[in-house]
Chain A
Amino acid sequence: MPKIASKFLLIVVLLLAGSYANAVVTIEIDQGVKRGIPIAIVPFGIPQDIDEGLELDEVIRSDLSRTGRFDVKKVDGFLQTPTKVEDVIFADWRLIGVDYLVIGSIERVDEINSRLETRLFNVFDEKQIFGSQFIVSTSNDRQVMHRIANEVYKRVTGTKSSFHTRIAYSIASVSSENKTEHKLVVADYDGHNATVVLKTDNPILSPSWSPDSEMITYSILEKNQSKVWVQKISSGKRQVVAEFEGQNRSPSWSPDGTRLAFTISRKGNSDIFVLTLATGEIVQLTRDRQIDTEPAWSPDADYIVFTSNRGKGAQIYRVRANENQLVERMTMYGKSNSRASYSPSGEQLILITDQGKGNQVGIFDIESKSITVVSPTSIDDSAVYSPNGDMLMYIVEGRDRHIKILSPDGRVQSRVEFVEGAVKQVAWSSDN
């Protein structure tokens, strides 16, 4: 990017980046009985010469809201809008029921950089919990906001959040020559900074991130033979890793990064295999004559869950990843259950369940075997946990296909912006 020496560069580029003009994210919250931790993020103090529309603090509000752990107070209810520590009147915040308070201010450093100072306070004991200074430039400002939101989340809840992580999604769109184009897109978890990393004529299926988040595996549906590919995100370099006789599909990266679980379909029968990437060797894990597909690893790599219709309809089973062939049925309830993957704790599965109201996102508790429906929609697919379990993401199909983020209890819902087209499947990167 050419560096234009201008006093207004920061402003100009920020405006061109476009993410600020519509920085307000619609987040729907079902209030119900349960509420989050009350927190206020005061609009950051911004110098006169920086456009006042730069609502960087809104990124933090959106991040915290999406998890459902916070009751992020609306700015218009604030009794004061301090940007400096000496201006904070804690009594004013206690009055509107706020437990935690974030303030911040931005100062120009030079043409490129600004300095952002933020502080988190406990309103009750009137103490600062943390303070930080970031040098912010146009290319990193959203990342900085996500980092601050991560820090606030961690200091208040004691657990990690996933605001710094990325997603990959596959999408189909119609080109100017009226041809269907398939793309793989990598973006921040909230859909910003989207980059198309692959364009092909054929559908891109089952993206799955490597544990270091540097590579993505996927299958490409070709007329003669579907193959499994691995692509490095930074360079765009990609290669076929599975083209065994039959259709090679549904790759899922092992937690240690050395293996892929995937499906080979031959003569109408899909089975689960594990490929060792270094050697190219495969081991067959299931030998049923019915459909076995959509494998996903447990966090400890002991099990692979998969969808099978060996019973009546699709249900979730698991197989030992190392000791061959011990298969157990996991889901017992619902017309069908499919595309399961583990929660980061390994205690739950997120899956697509049909409990008589269409395909919805469900959380299956492994110990109790109960399924809780968490999505408000009923044409759902491709549901995943965030790498730290603080959010869920899935695709709503139908006429208005879109990506949705849910709080783990389903109470808070928001849409993720995506590049134009019919979005198909989504994968969340790891914590790295």
Chain B
Amino acid sequence: MKRNLIFIGITIFSLVLLAGCAKDVETVDITTTDSLDPSDGASGDEVSGVSETDDAVQFNIDGDDASGTGASQAVDPLSQRTIYFGYDESVVSEEAQTIIRAHAEVLLENPDANLEIAGHADERGTRDYNLALGDQRAAAVSSFFQEFGVDVSRISATSYGEENPAAIGSDESAWSLNRRVEFDY
């Protein structure tokens, strides 16, 4: 059960000693919240039960692809569903465009498939800015899919900012893996 606020009245008597200045008795109410039950307050309107952590584990990120630009040309572009970015950047590299083009062709052959794009950022920078940066990255990847013929109605793009890192750690090796867009269809 929800508990209401408990009002605790505190009576302050100013002492009239050395100061020698008389003051009337004041009453001060100090309000404290006591055991406000969170599940109670939120019940009935729980936010949808999507667990983003589930999304993140679908993608096995090969450490060799860490730099994005460092990925081997020999790798089948269809085996990659993650695009990496530079720090505070949303520029899709030519190599990433090759990956996007290959997947776009698959999507054109499978008109029933819908494309989900999720933008991410590394932990540097502020949380809200990183969400906006993830939006920008997702939109940049989305625009290439559209350029390669995928209809915008089949694409949904979202951003998780720095909320769902692919790699844990506070160094460049982790950060470079986390500045990414993942897509799935």
Interface residues of A (CB under 8 A from B): 85, 117, 119, 121, 127-137, 139-140, 143-144, 147, 179-180, 183-184, 186, 193, 195-203, 205-206, 220-224, 231, 233-238, 247, 249-250, 263, 265, 267-270, 290-294, 307, 309, 313-314, 336, 338-339, 352, 358-359, 379, 381-382, 397-399, 424-425
Contact = CB atoms under 8 A, between A and B. Distances in A.
B94 interface: no
Contacts of A270: 132, 135
A180 B128 contact: no
B163 interface: yes
With most chain A CB atoms within 10 A of its CB, the pick from B52, B128, B170 is B128
* 4 tightest A-B CB contacts, nearest first: A236-B41, A268-B139, A131-B15, A128-B18
B28 interface: yes
Contacts of B166: none
Contacts of A197: 36, 38, 41
Secondary structure type dominating chain A contacts: strand
B54 to A, nearest CB: 9
Contacts of B132: 249, 263, 265, 270, 291-293
B124 interface: yes
Contacts of B35: 195
Contact of B53 (A119, A180, A294, A382): A180
Interface residues of B, number: 65
Interface stretch (B1-9, B73-81, B95-103, B104-112): B1-9
B133 interface: yes
A179 B53 CA distance: 8
A339 B128 contact: yes
B47 A265 contact: no
A135 B11 contact: yes
A373 to B, nearest CB: 16
Given A119-B15, A140-B32, A198-B38, A397 B125 contact: no
A127 B21 CA distance: 12
B171 to A, nearest CB: 10
Contacts of B182: none
Contact of A139 (B4, B32, B50, B140): B32
Contacts of A131: 14-17, 19
B131 interface: yes
Interface in B28-85: 28, 30, 32-42, 45-53, 55
B157 interface: yes
6 contacts: A132-B13, A134-B11, A134-B12, A195-B36, A268-B138, A339-B126
Interface in B127-173: 127-129, 131-133, 135-140, 142, 156-161, 163, 170
B36 A359 contact: no
Contacts of B4: 234-235
Given A236-B2, A265-B132, 16 more contacts: A117-B15, A127-B19, A132-B15, A134-B12, A195-B34, A195-B35, A199-B42, A202-B50, A223-B50, A234-B4, A234-B36, A247-B135, A265-B135, A290-B136, A293-B131, A397-B123
B27 to A, nearest CB: 11
A233 B15 contact: no
A382 B127 contact: yes
With most chain B CB atoms within 10 A of its CB, the pick from A139, A203, A399 is A203
Contacts of B47: 200-202, 220, 222
A119 B51 CA distance: 55
Contacts of A339: 126, 128-129
B26 to A, nearest CB: 10
Nearest to B36: A195
Given A221-B163, A269-B139, A338-B129, A234 B33 contact: yes
A196 B38 contact: yes
Contacts of A85: 17-18
Contacts of B49: 201
A206 B128 contact: yes
With most chain A CB atoms within 10 A of its CB, the pick from B6, B42, B49, B52 is B42
A133 B14 CA distance: 6
